[in-house]
Structure 1
Amino acid sequence: MSARTKARKRAIDVLFAADVRDEPAAELLAQEAERARTQPERETSWRYAREIVLGVLEHQDEIDELLTSYARGWTLERMPALDRAILRMAVWEIRWNDEVPTAVAITEAVEAAKQYSTDDSGRFVHGLLGRIAESVPPVVES
């Protein structure tokens, strides 16, 4: 498993836990930062996981608006919490991380959904991210 894939998993874990526990993601991020300091083997993947979580937090309103707008017949509340975490991460990568090709962001999200969520999640995540990627251009921040 690549360092970026591990980082995505860590980011999904933080976003999911914050959502399910109704706790601030920033607090969970601080706990993960402390764990990463005591486990040097986690450092490489931790840096990118942190970047993802902070990016999702910074753009969460816009991300959630996109998910709501492009999820045909689904509200955010109706989506499984794990799917929400995966989708938020992937939308951030697609829109705000120009280092990750859109196809890679979608593929990684679909694989995470297949591995960690429901039987239907892979197709759902793929379809929703595909619609967003086709319709909404990436943001180039300077």
Structure 2
Amino acid sequence: MSARTKARKRALDMLFQSDVRGEELSLVLAAEAQRAATEPAREASWLYAREIIDGVIDNRDAIDARIVDTAKDWSLARMPAVDRALLRIGTWEIVYNDDIPAAVAIDEAVELAKEYSTDESAPFVHGVLARIARGD
């Protein structure tokens, strides 16, 4: 598993934790930063996970608006928490990170949806992120 794949999983964990526990994402990030300082072997995945979370924090309103506009008839509240987190990660990578090809961002989000969410989540996540990548 690549460092970026591990980083996406770490970012998913932080976004999910913030969402379900109602904790401020910046506080979850700070706690994870303290933990990461004691795990130098995981530094490569930590750096990109932090970049993702910082990007989501900095662009949250725009990211959420893009998701809601693209996910026809789906509010964020109606989506499973894992799907919300994956869509936020994927949208940030597609829209704000020029180093990641859209196809890679979509594929990584879909694979995580298959592993951690419902049977319907992978096609849903794929559809929303593909439309965002096309600019629909």
TM-score range, shorter chain: over 0.9
Structure with the bigger percentage of helix? 2
Give me the TM-score of the superposition, normalised by structure 1. Answer: 0.94
Identity %: 60
Distance (whole Å) between structure 2 residues aligned to residue 27 and residue 75 of structure 1: 25
Name the amino acid aligned to 2:55. Answer: G
Find the residue that maps to 1:73 and give its secondary structure.
coil
Pairs aligned (count): 136
Question: What's 1:2 paired with?
Answer: 2
**What is the distance in 2 between the residues matched to 1:9 and 1:27?**
18
Greater than 6 Å deviation, 4+ residue runs: none
Aligned to 1:106: 106
Distance 1:66 1:2 in 2: 28
Equivalent position of 2:28 in the other structure: 28
Structure 1 runs not aligned, ≥5 long: 137-142
**Which 5+ residue runs of structure 2 have no aligned equivalent?**
none
Partner of 2:91: 91
Offset of residue 69 of structure 1: 0.5
Separation in 1 of the partners of 2:132 and 2:4?
22
| Deviation per residue, 1:52-102 (Å, 9 max, x gap) | 000001001001001110111111000001100000000000000000000
| RMSD after superposition | 0.8
TM-score between the two structures when normalised by the length of structure 2: 0.98
